[in-house]
Amino acid sequence: MKKYLLYLVGAAVGGLGGFLYWKYVGCLTGTCKITSSPVNSTLYFAMMGALLFSMFKKQETHGS
């Protein structure tokens, strides 16, 4: 579980950000694929948050 903690935190932060973006900015016309639905917005931003936070993960080195 500790191995994936950074991904989970990134997904949680991104998901929260996506939900808040949908709630306060959103899409007025309803034609936006991502921001017109709270589920789509939350899932998309959760994925982006996990990918963003994964950039800060230290590389594991394997000794030979």
Under the banding of pLDDT at 50, 70 and 90, the label for residue 23 is very high
Mean pLDDT for 46-54 is 94
CA distance 35 to 28: 9
CA distance 23 to 17: 10
Give residue 19's domain range: 2-54
CA distance 19 to 63: 43
Q: Is residue 61 part of a domain?
A: no
Say if residue 57's pLDDT is above 80.
no
**pLDDT on residue 64:** 55
Q: Is residue 6 part of a domain?
A: yes
Under the banding of pLDDT at 50, 70 and 90, the label for residue 4 is confident
Q: Is residue 15 part of a domain?
A: yes
Q: What are phi and psi of 6, to 5 degrees?
A: -65, -40
